[in-house]
Chain A
Amino acid sequence: MVIDLDKCTGCGACMTACQVENNIAPMVDASNKMRTLSWMLVFELSNKKSGAEAEVAYLPRPCMQCGNPACVPVCPVIATEKNEEGGIVSQVYPRCIGCRYCMAACPYHARYFNWEDPIFPKGMEKALSPSTSARPRGVVEKCNFCHTRFMQAKDKARQDGGNPEGLADGAYMPACAEICPTGAISFGDVKNKEHKVFDLAQGKDAFRLLEKLGLNPQVYYVSKREWVRKLGDNYAATGKPGAAKKHS
């Protein structure tokens, strides 16, 4: 996934699409934002300047589907795995014991705990996604790049006589990328040269969040503004993006 932060308006459509696609029930009391379920969460960034120089940017944060995830090796019951096929970090809800060790491990806060059983208001059950399971109270859940859509795209490729292991650009699209009105979210196989994201991720303005921690996040961000890029990592030691010693 590549997200162009200069295109993002912070409208929140990605958050809404994510909630609908993944059957996230509205909370009875959502006033405590530290307990809401937001697999996709939009942060507001500021350049901390005032007057005419003040600028803001919006940063949508899905799960980074890290290449070296902090959450996977810590899970005591193998309820989360780095899936080699597609590279998505999965969450096995029926196996999760709700210890929340993975949440403590993730520096992006991309993991959420189900504090209450999901209750869908009357009528809403008719609009639920049939392919996405609802989660019970007491388990951890997270963005999985709308994994069921990935399965469906592969099924379609098989039906059409195509190659399910080499999907065409755009054949598989998470709900957030599909709905983004400004096209800020691009999606594809970042290792496939035929996909648009391959070039976007290699661009000089591309960066990833907290690269220096060594988690190898698979979500790329793009911005022409240096102050935005600088907010992608910590540079306290040197003050310049990209100049700090890389930690292995």
Chain B
Amino acid sequence: MDRALFPDGLERCSFGKFVLWMGFVSAFFLFGLYAMLLIFAKGIVVTGLDNYFGFGLWITFDLAVIALGAGAFFTGFLKYILKIDQLKNIINLTVIVGFICYSGAMLVLTMDIGQPIRAWFGYWHPNVHSMLTEVIFCITCYCLVLVIEFVPLVLEQKQLNKIPFLHHLAHNMHVNMALFAGIGAFLSTFHQGSLGGMYGVLIGRPYAFREGFFIWPWTFFLFVLSAVGCGPIFTVLCCTLMEKMTGRKLVDFKTKALMGKIAGTMLTVYIFFKILDTYAWANNYLPSIGMTFDQMFYGLVYGKWLMFTEIILCGLVPAIMLITPSIRNNPTLLYTAGILDCIGVSLNRYLFTVQSIAMPILPFDTWQIYAPNWAEWATSGMIVAYGVLVMSLSYRYLPVFPQERGMNK
């Protein structure tokens, strides 16, 4: 029925099957949409947040998807600026994943702020001393860059590309893509860093506070490194999931392994500095304010096992796996390392968000427990569903994978 819209020479599942799939995902999307409308109507009182946990699942989700979406800017930087040509096989997918992650994160942020109608105040009354101001500027600007990077791919859709103007527009945008890749790399590096800086400057939250270099706490650099250490491999995982679901080969394993090598190298650099940072924090900073490493953890929910899982099991282990060629070149081990890597970075964002504010700083205060409620889960699920819908449409109608035709003859 919609065969005329498929990319040239490629097979896709039947229209009925596609509609069923889209309907299934849309059910989650619509449930989340209902929660979102409820939140806009009644305010965030319908969530599980409170005065202790001003930040919760949403901010964790935002930070995690922004880190996982870092494959877009970093791969773009390597492809267009450092000219690693092999990455052309996966660059389109990194752009789509990045676009989904960033646009989804922005949608969550509009729900998260208490006065969504004032969201533009970040531009109108910017506080140049706030890391969050920098995040607001860079995320919105970078999202526009991702739109600019996504548009040529949409214009290459078989029917649209027959229109001469759109064909030339797409071509010219491709020609100038290095410029946008450069802008994207600049913007993205800074806001990934500023997201870390947001926590590092919290002088009243010992779990998060870090000293640093000039105005940037060490978390600024650690967040940049961890994002580029997981973003590329997250794209590989998305690609592999799509291959499993569609039963078609989309990207050659050599490219995937290269992405794994890139992520692994950055993850290794990150985890080296993360361990140093954690050691210095536990042995120098915490004693200086009269606190101990043990005080940072409590029971099972806030136990030390979380930090050790983050740094060792989901940090050091995947870093070693990804930089070791014999392990990296085994598909199962590459994907296992990738999954561990992505869990580790997401766990890092969770700990900085929730553990930091759950911990009592006043000696007579107590640990508090936070549990996200259905409205937060539903809206977060909505973003995932939105991503799946965009990805499904893109895969079906756009020429995302340049190698697909050759690999599925």
Contacts and interface: CB of A to CB of B under 8 A. Distances in A.
Interface in A89-106: 95-101, 103-106
B127 A76 contact: yes
Contact of B290 (A34, A136, A139, A236): A236
A178 interface: no
Contacts of B133: 76-77
B126 A231 contact: no
Interface stretch (A108-116, A184-192, A194-202): A108-116
A107 B201 contact: no
Contact of B203 (A34, A35, A112, A215): A215
Contacts of B205: 104-105, 107
A244 B289 contact: yes
Given A107-B362, A138-B43, A114 B114 contact: yes
**Secondary structure class of chain B's binding surface, majority of residues:** loop
Contacts of A247: 285, 288-289
B45 interface: yes
Interface in B289-346: 289-292, 295
Contacts of A233: 290, 363
A98 B132 contact: no
Given A35-B51, A112-B51, A139-B114, A73 B201 contact: yes
B115 A96 contact: yes
A151 interface: no
Contacts of A34: 50-53, 368
**Secondary structure class of chain A's binding surface, majority of residues:** loop
A109 B102 CA distance: 31
The number of chain A residues touching the other chain, given as a range, is 35 or more
B342 to A, nearest CB: 25
Given A34-B50, A95-B121, A115 B44 contact: yes
Contacts of B113: 97-99, 138
Nearest to A70: B204
Nearest to A38: B51
Interface string A213-248: 111000000000000001111111110000011110
B266 interface: no
Contacts of A106: 204
Contact of A98 (B51, B115, B206, B291): B115
Contacts of A99: 112-114, 132
Interface string A28-49: 0000101110000001010000
Contacts of B198: 74, 101
Contact of B50 (A35, A235, A236, A245): A35
Interface residues of B, number: 52
A200 to B, nearest CB: 22
Nearest to B131: A74
B287 interface: yes
Nearest to A93: B115
Contacts of A108: 204, 361-362
Contacts of A176: none
Contact of A77 (B51, B127, B202, B286): B127
Contacts of B52: 34, 109
A70 B203 contact: yes
A24 to B, nearest CB: 13
A98 B292 contact: no
B244 interface: no
16 contacts: A76-B136, A77-B121, A77-B124, A77-B126, A97-B113, A97-B122, A101-B130, A104-B55, A105-B204, A107-B204, A108-B361, A109-B362, A109-B365, A210-B204, A234-B363, A237-B291
Interface of A: 32, 34-36, 43, 45, 59, 68, 70, 73-79, 95-101, 103-109, 111-116, 136-140, 209-210, 212-215, 230-238, 244-247
Interface of B: 43-45, 50-55, 112-115, 118-119, 121-122, 124-127, 129-133, 135-136, 198, 201-206, 285-292, 295, 356-357, 361-365, 368
The 10 A-B residue pairs with the shortest CB-CB distance in the complex, in nearest-first order? A98-B114, A138-B114, A100-B54, A107-B204, A34-B50, A234-B290, A107-B361, A76-B132, A70-B204, A103-B54
Given A113-B51, A115-B45, 20 more contacts: A34-B51, A34-B52, A35-B45, A73-B130, A74-B130, A77-B124, A97-B114, A98-B118, A100-B55, A101-B130, A104-B356, A105-B205, A109-B362, A114-B114, A115-B43, A137-B43, A137-B114, A236-B290, A236-B291, A247-B288
